[in-house]
């Protein structure tokens, strides 16, 4: 019963071959079997999922109209709020915290009869590229458990890859959906900034974060986006741009696709990834698309700009977790100062503390202009350069990651090497453009290789349609 898309589920359901309750039972059994090793789920909402499944089955039985996502069993990353359920951002500082409201995305999915089956492990406060930074243990890659699934949405991706659910939601600040999707052979979609409401998402970098779907198929990714997207009065940064029929994916051709000169034969790229990249370019040309090599001088500046700006925003966003307002409070605290100091020191993990310290440094009075202001200026240059490419091209094609999934501990003692895992994904977050990673090949060890398309703002529909030309199902 390992379905790969919602259409398959609904066909079987409408034919009377399965009930939604049986489907949920199947996923619950799979979770109980696989999760002890993979560690993708922090909590499974068994009772809620079964009750919702029975409700959907009863709707059908009584002739009532069911939602467009009936049969979509979906997991949510542990930084997305769901009323009455715990949300911790995989951090000790928020352990056992119960959300008092639901995020807009969760509310919209449930309204269309999606079933939320549980919350998934992630790098603490979405800070990481390997899912080794969770306070509740690392997530393992279902394809090879000796390797990382990618991060920070590693739990969401691993849950889908291991067929513990049909789809999942992640958050993408610098590639946290697309990078793990590439490592695990799935579709990972980061929408245009503002396309999807951030209300109910625990913030890391507010001007970078976007919620997006992780699926086996482009159609499912598009449909989930279609239902989540649109203006939200609870999020001032959400866009009122019209929502297209993203779930209807038809192959297109005859487009202009830019490849970056600096990426071709880049020594940082694993040979098997470079081979897959060139094969993808050749395939696109053979199908009638025009490939143009363009000059982009800012590749080496993307990761530094990203980390200066996101850590600055993180140091501000995470200041609320102080042992007083809410969250973990140290038992060793004796006064106001020790409450702040000990609660935050004990509650936050090493990587989160590193980024808070870096963010506080770049925002300090003596260094604000030298780092934060300069990074904002470079961000503007990157945005202008990217928009200029889109004046003459419909899409930009780059590898999703420099290499395939690496082994646990391989990069954990070298933060800079780990940060460079985001080399090709951060551009879309810096500029706010939409981007999607799709599986295209495997390396000699059988590990998935992902390719990434980036498109002009609010061009998700055409981007998904072009992605269907390169995705290796």
How does pLDDT run across 254-306, given as a tens digit for each residue?
Answer: 999 999 999 998 888 999 999 999 999 999 999 999 999 999 999 999 999 99
Query: Taking the mean position of all CA atoms in its chain, how far away is CA 437?
Result: 10
Q: Does 63 reside within a domain? A: yes
H helical segments located in 237-373 = 271-286, 299-317, 336-347, 350-363
Q: Does 196 reside within a domain? A: yes
User: Does 364 participate in catalysis according to the annotation?
Assistant: no
- For residues 455-461, give the mean pLDDT: 98
User: Does 152 participate in catalysis according to the annotation?
Assistant: yes
Bridge partners of 65? Answer: none
Question: What CA dihedral angle connects 46, 51, 55 and 58, to 10 degrees?
Answer: 100
Q: How confident is the model at residue 327 (pLDDT cuts 50, 70, 90)?
A: confident
Spot the catalytic one: 91, 103, 176, 469.
176
Crossing angle of helices 299-317 and 374-392, rounded to 10°: 130
Question: Is 177 in a helix, a strand, or coil?
Answer: coil
Residue 189, domain extent: 6-228
Q: Which two tokens stand for residue 458?
A: 């609010």
- For residues 159-184, give the mean pLDDT: 98
Question: Is 443 in a helix, a strand, or coil?
Answer: coil
Q: Does 110 reside within a domain? A: yes
CB 431 within 8 A of CB 450: no
- State how far the Cα of 399 lies from the Cα of 269, in Å rounded to an integer: 9
CATH of the domain at 221: 3.90.1300.10
- State how far the Cα of 221 lies from the Cα of 246, in Å rounded to an integer: 8
Specify the pLDDT at position 1: 77
Q: Does 53 reside within a domain? A: yes
- State how far the Cα of 356 lies from the Cα of 147, in Å rounded to an integer: 28
Residue 28 has pLDDT above 90, yes or no: yes
Beta strands 395-399; 115-120: pairing state: unpaired
Spot the catalytic one: 34, 52, 77, 342.
77
Residue 421 has pLDDT above 90, yes or no: no
Bridge partners of 196? Answer: 229
Q: How confident is the model at residue 473 (pLDDT cuts 50, 70, 90)?
A: low
What is the domain count for the chain? Answer: 1
Residues 6+ apart with CB under 8 A from 96: 86, 88
Specify the pLDDT at position 415: 75
Beta strands 187-190; 210-215: pairing state: antiparallel
Angle CA(444)–CA(418)–CA(153) in degrees, nearest 5? 80
Spot the catalytic one: 152, 217, 238, 435.
152
H helical segments located in 118-255 = 154-161, 178-184, 218-228
Q: Does 203 reside within a domain? A: yes
Q: What's the chain's average pLDDT? A: 96
Q: Does 462 reside within a domain? A: no
Question: Is 425 in a helix, a strand, or coil?
Answer: coil
- For residues 142-153, give the mean pLDDT: 97
- For residues 394-419, give the mean pLDDT: 87
Question: Is 461 in a helix, a strand, or coil?
Answer: helix
Q: Does 362 reside within a domain? A: no
User: Does 239 participate in catalysis according to the annotation?
Assistant: no
Specify the pLDDT at position 420: 77
pTM as predicted:
0.96
Residue that is written with structure tokens 């490849």 in the block: 259
Q: Does 70 reside within a domain? A: yes
- For residues 177-197, give the mean pLDDT: 98
Specify the pLDDT at position 446: 95
- For residues 295-319, give the mean pLDDT: 96
């Amino acid at each position: 019963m390992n379905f790969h898309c919602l259409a398959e589920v609904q066909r079987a359901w409408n034919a009377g071959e399965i009930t939604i309750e049986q489907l949920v039972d199947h996923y619950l059994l799979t979770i109980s079997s696989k999760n002890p090793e993979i560690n993708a789920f922090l909590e499974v909402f068994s009772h809620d999922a079964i009750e919702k499944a029975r409700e959907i089955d009863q709707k059908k039985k009584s002739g009532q109209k069911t939602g467009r996502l009936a049969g979509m069993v979906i997991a949510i990353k542990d930084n997305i709020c769901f009323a009455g359920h715990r949300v911790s951002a995989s951090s000790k500082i928020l352990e056992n915290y119960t959300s008092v409201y639901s995020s807009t995305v969760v509310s919209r999915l449930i309204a269309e009869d999606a079933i939320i089956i549980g919350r998934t492990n992630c790098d603490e406060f979405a800070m990481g590229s390997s899912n080794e930074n969770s306070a509740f243990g690392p997530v393992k890659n279902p394809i090879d458990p000796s390797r990382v699934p990618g991060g920070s949405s590693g739990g969401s991706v691993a849950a889908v890859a291991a067929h513990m659910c049909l789809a999942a939601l992640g958050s993408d600040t610098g590639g946290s959906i697309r990078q793990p999707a590439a490592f695990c052979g799935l579709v990972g979609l980061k929408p245009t900034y503002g396309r999807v409401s951030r209300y109910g998402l625990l913030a890391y970098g507010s001007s970078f974060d976007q919620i997006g779907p992780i699926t086996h198929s482009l159609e499912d990714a598009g449909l989930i986006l279609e239902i989540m997207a649109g203006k939200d009065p609870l999020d001032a940064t959400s866009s009122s741009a019209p929502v297209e029929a993203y779930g209807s994916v038809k192959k297109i051709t005859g487009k202009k696709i830019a490849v970056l000169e600096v990426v071709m034969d880049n020594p940082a790229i694993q040979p098997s990834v470079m081979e897959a990249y060139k094969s993808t370019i050749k395939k696109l040309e053979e199908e009638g698309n025009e490939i143009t090599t363009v000059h982009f001088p800012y590749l080496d500046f993307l990761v530094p700009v990203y980390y200066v700006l996101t850590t600055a925003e993180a140091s501000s966003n995470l200041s609320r977790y102080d042992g007083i307002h809410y969250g973990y409070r140290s038992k060793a605290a004796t006064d106001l100062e020790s409450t702040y100091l000990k609660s935050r020191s004990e509650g936050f993990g090493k990587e989160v503390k590193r980024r808070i310290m870096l963010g506080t440094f770049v925002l300090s009075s003596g260094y604000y202009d030298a780092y934060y202001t300069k990074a904002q200026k470079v961000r503007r240059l990157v945005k202008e350069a990217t928009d200029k490419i889109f004046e003459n091209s419909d899409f930009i094609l780059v590898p999703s990651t420099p290499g395939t999934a690496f082994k646990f501990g391989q990069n954990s003692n070298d933060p800079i090497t780990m940060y460079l895992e985001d080399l090709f994904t951060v551009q879309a977050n810096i500029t706010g453009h939409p981007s999607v990673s799709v599986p295209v090949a495997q390396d000699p060890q059988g590990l998935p290789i992902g390719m990434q398309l980036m498109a002009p703002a609010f061009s998700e529909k055409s981007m998904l349609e072009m992605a269907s030309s390169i995705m290796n199902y």
